[in-house]
Chain A
Amino acid sequence: AQTVTQSQPEMSVQEAETVTLSCTYDTSESNYYLFWYKQPPSRQMILVIRQEAYKQQNATENRFSVNFQKAAKSFSLKISDSQLGDTAMYFCAFANAGKSTFGDGTTLTVKP
């Protein structure tokens, strides 16, 4: 069974600054996917970024990027130029062959 751990229940950042959210996981699988999902107060869960485990290159999506360290089983999310709309709960998640595991989430508040 796989586990996903997010050690930061809450974080805050000033608008326009950079923040990094941490995630570690444990699995015996060699092929899998890692995700960061965002859930704003509206509760609609949406994908932020996805990383395939077989790719060494870190995924990037505009202001969002990850630091994927496969050997250390670490998958952190960096948000650059934080915006007020980034305020949300962020979940790190693992998936493999339809099996899904979510971390407990990090509540991020962007302050003006």
Chain B
Amino acid sequence: DAMVIQNPRYQVTQFGKPVTLSCSQTLNHNVMYWYQQKSSQAPKLLFHYYDKDFNNEADTPDNFQSRRPNTSFCFLDIRSPGLGDAAMYLCATSRVGAGGETQYFGPGTRLLVL
């Protein structure tokens, strides 16, 4: 089935140790999103790619970077994780145009920072 896949599902890292989260999609959607979600809160948009165009939210810390090497894959790099970065990270995709911009979410990666 077409879907949004996130790896790993759980990631434990040490304070300050770089970590990379990955997202892949088989939907051929032109937009990919990264959200940070803390418990019982709304997802906070970090950035999104519209095709190759990178869009960074104004309040996304510099500690967070992203790469989209091709249509199917998108990566979230956290250069020096702090305790406050422990959260669920959600990847989503959508199609602008015929797709009606519905977002399809992956299952998320839960990040724990020790």
Contact = CB atoms under 8 A, between A and B. Distances in A.
Interface of A: 33, 35, 37, 43-47, 50, 52, 89, 91, 93, 95-105, 107
Interface residues of B, number: 25
B101 A95 contact: yes
A47 B102 contact: yes
A98 B45 contact: no
Nearest to B105: A45
A33 B101 contact: yes
Nearest to B30: A98
Contact of B55 (A47, A52, A98, A101): A98
B101 A44 contact: no
Nearest to B39: A43
B96 A98 contact: yes
B69 interface: no
A45 B88 CA distance: 12
A52 B100 contact: yes
28 contacts: A33-B100, A33-B101, A35-B103, A44-B108, A45-B90, A46-B105, A47-B103, A50-B100, A50-B102, A89-B40, A91-B42, A95-B101, A95-B103, A96-B101, A97-B50, A97-B96, A98-B30, A98-B55, A98-B94, A100-B48, A100-B101, A100-B103, A101-B45, A102-B43, A102-B45, A104-B42, A105-B42, A107-B40
A52 B98 CA distance: 12
Given A44-B105, A46-B105, A98 B43 contact: no
Contacts of B37: 43
Contacts of A47: 102-104
